[in-house]
Amino acid sequence: MTNVNPAQRGWWARLRRPSAKHSVLALAAGGFVAGIIFWGGFNTGMEATNTLEFCVSCHEMRDTVYQEYQYTIHYSNRTGVRAICSDCHVPKDWTHKLIRKIKASGEVWGKLTGSIDTKEKFEARRLTLAQHEWERMKARDSIECRNCHSFDAMSPELQKKTPYKKHMEAKAAGKSCIDCHQGIAHKLPKGYKKPGTEDEEE
């Protein structure tokens, strides 16, 4: 049996070798600091992808939905509260946020293949893309809307009668926001009929 010089061993063997130089405390402290740096860096990077600037850094979003969003109440309103893309499209809790981010990496593939790189291509796919998002919101019980809006906070005195009546009916029926509210911050896809707006004569 021959003794192999540790310096000549593979990197994995070297990593597994107990430290002869450093105390357990020093190793634990080093690991702790490295953990903080890694965790902080990871979350800072993930939060950077939640900013409005990041979302509209690609022309696919900047030239289409972003233009429409700027005319909606979620962008500009009496009270000065703004909901940006991630407020509606990215979950707040860490686990679901991470899952959403991993799924969103598919959009990078879309970018590389140019699936919506012109306005015409985007309009052709708008209904499909919108339906995917509506399904996601429905599956999450419109939690991103409900981070700010709630049936219980709706005032019968301050809300118009018809919407209030419909909201209370929706609450009783166990519906969530996205069941009725689509095209809130963007245009509805051409030809799409929202529930309750169908007209068989059209």
CA angle 160–183–89, rounded 5-degree value: 110
167, 151 Cβ separation under 8 angstroms: yes
Nearer to other proteins, 75 or 151 (CB): 75
Site for other proteins in 69-88 (CB under 8 A): 71
Please choose, out of 83-91, 93-101, 136-144, 188-196, the segment that lies near other proteins by the rule CB under 8 A: 188-196
For the record, the structure tokens of 181 come out as 């509210």
Asked if 162 touches other proteins (CB under 8 A), the answer is yes
CA angle 116–183–91, rounded 5-degree value: 80
Asked if 193 touches other proteins (CB under 8 A), the answer is yes
Nearer to other proteins, 152 or 202 (CB): 202
> What is the three-class DSSP state of 63?
coil
Q: How far is the CB of 201 from other proteins (least distance, A)?
A: 5
Among 15, 20, 160, 174, binds other proteins (CB under 8 A): 160
73, 186 Cβ separation under 8 angstroms: no
111, 173 Cβ separation under 8 angstroms: no
Binding site for other proteins (CB under 8 A): 68, 71, 160-162, 183, 187-188, 190, 192-194, 196-199, 201-202
